[in-house]
Chain A
């Protein structure tokens, strides 16, 4: 009760002091304000950017994916018999991989590509054909807008059916409904059984659609490509994707899978593992550099402001020696004087920080608006900005307050 009363009185006194010396107080708060605004603004802008990138990866079908692709193996001289016996990435790898951690793997998709002439009554183009298998459609963020996806038996038998992306549908069937029509891919006539949803993602407003090429997809069952377009006897595939929502299990799985593939591939590193989440973590850690730069510039503003504050406080102290003397004469201890000066400095820091937070929000809002990305602010940024300001405010208040508390009451009273 007594301490809270004394605290309230100190706060009141500090407020009066700040209000009475408005110009000086504003100058003092300015350093804090800029520091807080730059930390908060910097953090928020990089958070917004990062958040937007995460949204993009989610739209691409999620972060929880491990891709396996073939890679040219480096050989020295003529291939050995063992090397020649290597069959490359194939169905067996996908099946074996899934068996390694069946409970953690929520989906496996295979892709087998081909390049082929695609002919319809309206178009005739050389196109990439995506042979898809397993859970390709959900794992890559596609959705069937009209018609249907491949049935298991169509997948299995490599039925002559096709699902088109919006661009492909537009090119090959510009007039009227593509559904149910027939296309010729290479020498194979295929029936359009489905149309994919349009894929759109613009990182910033007004930018081009970064997913435009995904609308060019011409998807057929992987086994159709395998058997009738670009296949071989070994059922080689061009990409296998494992979906593992438990990111903790991902690291271990990648290691096991790598060992399995090496064994399958006659000890040759002719495959490449691509952990999407790890890629994003790496990309995010590049963002950390910006965070550190923002943090540093904020800290520099706070240190600069702090030094200015010490100077202003020391100059102000000269004007207030007499006041300190009077307070001491009527019974204020050095500790009391110290607390009074600290309260004043910290109140000023708090007010400056609040203004800085407001400025930081405004600043981030304007910048993200101009970048065309949604503003995303985390409580952590606020805490960092406020905490740093409070820490530096405290640190730089110590010296003037200590100086004031050490004044001799008699000399302070006589000070003119």
Chain B
């Protein structure tokens, strides 16, 4: 079976010769379809950089990256945007919802960029909101929702184009432990439904929920724990 993520020798260097910072020094990582992987590591370890590259927000300096069968390195900005749109769903710590758009519109937006028709967008957005349990808030603005609800909206938005990879960056970082646990429960459900999840966290107790934990330290994979 084809892996969702396959990287070889990923490096990322910021700056030029004299002041170059090596954020990643050669990452080989494979994530199979349907896997739930936690990416852990202290701040400055390079895990954010790795996440950005895996999420196609940034390109590696060297190495190869294949996402769901697509070569990513060397693509143009427009092509990267298309891959992000079709294959990646992001969930951020600070939700990153568009404050001026309704909940439903927030969820519809990735479908709009994908060229989905208006009626279908609306239907799918409502179905997704139903799935994350806040269908009744569809026409509210994000500002009127609690943190947990906002994160559910963000999850619904991430799922909008049925991405190959769901990337969550500290998704419970801004939530209290109870709502955090609820959101994590949602992630577990998604995992059980066969979604591929990559969760970036520094909290070992959250990482413990994943099937596999990958720790990044100084731009390298320090160790891998759990089933590969």
By a beta-carbon cutoff of 8 Å, the part of chain A in contact with chain B is: 1-2, 5-6, 9, 13, 16-17, 20, 322-323, 325-336, 408-410, 413
Contact = CB atoms under 8 A, between A and B. Distances in A.
28 contacts: A1-B117, A2-B115, A2-B117, A6-B115, A16-B100, A325-B96, A326-B96, A326-B97, A326-B98, A328-B81, A329-B55, A329-B57, A329-B84, A330-B109, A330-B160, A331-B81, A331-B82, A331-B85, A331-B110, A332-B85, A334-B78, A334-B81, A335-B78, A336-B113, A409-B57, A409-B84, A410-B52, A413-B92
Nearest to A329: B90
Nearest to B117: A5
B184 interface: no
A326 B112 CA distance: 14
A330 B57 contact: no
Interface residues of B, number: 29
B195 interface: no
Given A330-B109, A413-B96, 9 more contacts: A6-B112, A16-B101, A326-B98, A329-B55, A329-B84, A331-B110, A333-B113, A335-B78, A409-B81
Contacts of B85: 330-332
Contacts of B172: none
The SS class assigned to the A binding surface is helix
Nearest to A9: B112
Given A2-B115, A5-B117, A413-B57, A333 B96 contact: no
B218 interface: no
Contacts of B28: none
Given A332-B81, A333-B81, A410 B57 contact: yes
B11 interface: no
B62 interface: no
Contacts of B109: 327, 330
Interface string B97-134: 11011000000011011110110000000000000000
Given A5-B118, A330-B113, A410-B52, A323 B81 contact: no
B118 A330 contact: no
B63 to A, nearest CB: 17
B75 to A, nearest CB: 12
Nearest to B52: A410
B157 interface: yes
A331 B57 contact: no
Q: Among A9, A331, A336, which residue has the most Cβ atoms of chain B within 10 A?
A: A331
B86 interface: yes
B162 interface: no
A335 B81 CA distance: 10
A258 to B, nearest CB: 71
Contact of B90 (A6, A322, A330, A333): A330
Given A329-B84, A330-B85, A17 B78 contact: no
Contacts of A334: 77-78, 81
Nearest to A408: B58
- Top 3 closest pairs, chain A to chain B, by CB: A331-B85, A333-B81, A331-B113
A6 B157 CA distance: 18
Contact of A322 (B55, B96, B117, B161): B96
Contacts of B57: 328-329, 409-410, 413
Nearest to B90: A329
Contacts of A336: 81, 113
Contacts of B77: 333-334
Contacts of A323: 98
A40 B110 CA distance: 43
A331 B58 contact: no
A6 B111 CA distance: 11
B82 to A, nearest CB: 7
Contacts of A408: 58
Nearest to B118: A5
Contacts of B82: 331, 333
Contact of B58 (A1, A6, A325, A410): A410
Contacts of B115: 2, 6
B91 to A, nearest CB: 10
Contact of B161 (A1, A17, A331): A331
A413 B92 CA distance: 10
A329 to B, nearest CB: 5
